[in-house]
Structure 1
Amino acid sequence: MVTKDEAVKVAARFLQSIAYPDRPDSVVMLPDTAIHFTDGWSVRFDFKEHIETGAFIDAPFTSVVVVPHDGSAAHFPPSHLPVSEYMALRAAGDWPPARH
């Protein structure tokens, strides 16, 4: 099981080295907003520029990283679902959805 502090560190590494390697110093983790789910953690972040300006153009497209408890890779949740719904689908074994 991943702790909150570990989840924040894993999410930060994902953001700074994989998602936004060109702007690692812009990533600001928001650990107080992390939410524990059965299958992992959701960890929010923002960009320093967005925090400073409040301008929508400076905000990340998605501001949540999922850190699974099973050790699989940190990732962005699908943008078409609320995070809680996505995490419930993962926990139930219903993600990814079956293809027909």
Structure 2
Amino acid sequence: MLTRDEAVAAAAAYLQTQAYPDRPESVVMLPDTAVEFPYGWTVCFDFKEHIETGDPTQAPFSPVMVAPHDGTAAHFAPTFPPTEEYMRLRASGEWPPRRLTT
């Protein structure tokens, strides 16, 4: 099980090395937003440019990261379903959705 600090660090590492390697200094983690679920932690981030200017065009499109308790790589939460539902589906094994065959 990850601690809050480990989850924030895992999300930051992913953002700075995988998602935004061209601007790692712009990533600002918001550890006070971290929420623990049975599947893992969610934690939000922002960009320094958005914080400094308030310009919505400088904000991340999807600011929620997921750090699974099992140690697999941190990843973006999907924009749908809502984060709480996604975390419930992951914990129950119902995500990813199964494809229907015809």
Q: TM-score range by the shorter chain?
A: over 0.9
Shift of 1:74: 0.5
Structure-2 residue corresponding to 1:86 = 86
Structure-1 residue corresponding to 2:6 = 6
Q: TM-score, length-normalised on structure 2? A: 0.96
Give aligned pairs, total: 100
Secondary structure in structure 2 of the residue aligned to 1:89:
helix
Structure-1 residue corresponding to 2:61 = 61
Matches within 5 A, 1:1-100: 1-100=1-100
Q: Distance in 1 between matches of 2:78 and 2:33?
A: 19
Q: Distance in 1 between matches of 2:54 and 2:23?
A: 18
Secondary structure in structure 2 of the residue aligned to 1:79:
coil
- Structure 1 segments unaligned to the other structure (5+ residues): none
Greater shift, 29-38 or 75-84, is seen at 75-84
Q: TM-score, length-normalised on structure 1? A: 0.98
Q: Distance in 1 between matches of 2:96 and 2:81?
A: 13
In the TM superposition, what whole-angstrom CA distance separates every residue of 1:32-57 from its partner, at most 9, and x where no partner exists? 11000000000100000000111110
Shift of 1:73: 1.0
In the TM superposition, what whole-angstrom CA distance separates every residue of 1:2-51 from its partner, at most 9, and x where no partner exists? 00000000000000000000000000000011000000000100000000
The structure whose Rg is larger is 2
Give the ranges of 4+ consecutive aligned residues of structure 1 lying more than 6 Å apart after TM superposition.
Answer: none
Q: Distance in 1 between matches of 2:65 and 2:77?
A: 7
Secondary structure in structure 2 of the residue aligned to 1:62:
coil
